[in-house]
Amino acid sequence: MALLEVKNLGISFGGLRAVDEFSVSIEKGELYGLIGPNGAGKTTVFNMLTGVYKPSNGVIMLDGQNITGKSTIEINRAGIARTFQNIRLFKAMSVLDNVKVGLHNHYKYSTAEGVFRMPRFFFTEKEMDKKAMELLSVFELDSKADFLASNLPYGDQRKLEIARALATQPKLLLLDEPAAGMNPNETAELMNTIRFVRDNFDMTVLLIEHDMSLVSGICEKLSVLNFGQLLCEGNTFDVLKNPEVITAYLGD
């Protein structure tokens, strides 16, 4: 059975049908791309998958569990983590703390144990530091652990967002335009990182991207959205050759 099984997902804002009858099936360990022109509804799909928007119809199954219409928090706990198109870091916090917030639900001690500095506080914090530094070193951010998140260069901010999402120990990672604003070198590096994450964390990745070098470089399968509807899907190579897709991107 597929890890993510989406059937006939749709949502309307007022009279506008933003996404209609969207279906996708992603196998465990796949690197899947969601592409389409601006305004096609890609981020809206992400927002429905993560519970930011409640879909008006359709079903979302994650690992056999129905998560349709659940809250963002419940969905994160069920195993979906994401990054955002316009980076949303905890800007006034350190790089390390950003990742430690991601670890929040997996390393626990109570507020009282924290305030009164009980043994579990010291023990758990130490474990969290260790785990967070491990994650940061994957993204080569460990040397910048005590920087303020807002002081990181743009590319590092995108990487930190991925690290924070991974810290929540998801089954499925959603990346919303991870290469936006990166130069070709940074993009190439990012591609390696995403592959590394998939291989070493046993991760399934669904990403939205406009950078075709990244899409064709790492995605194994693609779905193309146009005007809120699925235009086509399949292997990356086939989809990118599809004349309909080329028309949708370049116009007539």
Partner 1 sequence: MGFLNNLINGISLGSIYAVIALGYTLVYGIAKMLNFAHGDIIMVGGYVIFYSMTSFQINPYISVLLAVIACTVLGIVIEKIAYKPLRQATSLSVLITAIGVSYFLQNSALLLFGEKPVNFTSVVNIPSISLFDGQIVITGETIVAIIISILIVVGLSLFIKKTKSGRAMLAVSEDKDAAQLMGININRTISLTFAIGAGLAAIAGALLCSAYPTLQNTTGAMPGIKAFVAAVFGGIGSVPGAMIGGILIGVIEILGRAYISPQLSDAIVFAVLILVLIVKPTGLLGKKIREKV
Partner 2 sequence: MSNKATLAKAKMLKPQTKQSFTTYIMVIAAFVIMMVLSSTGNVSSQIEGLLVPLCVYSILAVSLNLTVGILGELSLGQAGFMCVGAYASALFSIATNESITVAWIRFPLAILVGGICAAVFGILIGIPVLRLRGDYLAIVTLAFGEIIKNVFAALYVGIDSNGLHIALNQADMNLAEDGTEIIRGALGVKGVPQDSTFVIGFVLLMITLIISYNFINSRTGRAVKAIRDNAIAAESVGLNITKYKLITFALTAFLAGLAGALYSHNYATLQAAKFDYNMSILILVFVVLGGIGNIRGSVIAAIVLTLLPEVLRSINNYRMLIYSIVLIVMMICTSNEKARNLIISVFNWLKDQIIKLKNMIIKPKTKEVK
Q: CB of residue 85 vs partner 1: minimum separation in angstroms? A: 9
Q: Which does 117 bind (CB under 5 to 8 A by kind): partner 1, partner 2, none?
A: partner 2
Q: Which does 100 bind (CB under 5 to 8 A by kind): partner 2, partner 1, none?
A: partner 2
Binders of partner 2 in range 63-82 (CB under 8 A): 72-73, 76-77, 81-82
Distances in Å between the Cα of 193 and the Cα atoms of 40, 110, 137, 199, 202 are 27, 35, 11, 10, 13
Q: In one letter, which amino acid is 214?
A: L
Q: In one letter, which amino acid is 176?
A: D
- CA–CA distance, 110 with 115 (Å, rounded to integer): 9
Binders of partner 2 in range 96-115 (CB under 8 A): 96-98, 100-102, 104-105, 107-109, 111, 114-115
Q: What is the dihedral of CA 29, 200, 83, 247, to 10 degrees?
A: -50
Q: Which residues pair with 146 in a beta bridge?
A: none
> In this complex, which beta carbon is closest to partner 1, that of residue 20 or of residue 176?
176
Which are the contacts of 220, defined by CB distance < 8 A and separation ≥ 6? Answer: 30, 31, 32, 235, 236
Q: Is 146 in the site for partner 2 (CB under 8 A)?
A: yes
Q: What is the CA radius of gyration of the chain?
A: 19
> With CB under 8 A as the contact rule, which of the stretches 14-22, 89-97, 181-189, 216-224 interacts with partner 2?
89-97
**The length of the chain, given as a count of residues:** 252
End-to-end CA distance of the chain: 39
Q: In one letter, which amino acid is 103?
A: L
Q: Is 88 in the site for partner 2 (CB under 8 A)?
A: yes
Task: Pick the closest to residue 212 from 33, 25, 22 (CA basis).
Answer: 33
Binding residue for partner 2, selected from 5, 21, 63, 142, defined by CB under 8 A: 142
Binding residue for partner 2, selected from 14, 16, 130, 251, defined by CB under 8 A: 130
Q: Which does 70 bind (CB under 5 to 8 A by kind): partner 2, partner 1, none?
A: none
Residues that bind partner 2 (CB under 8 A): 50, 52, 72-73, 76-77, 81-82, 84, 88-94, 96-98, 100-102, 104-105, 107-109, 111, 114-117, 121, 124-126, 128-130, 133-134, 137, 142-143, 145-146, 164-165, 167-168
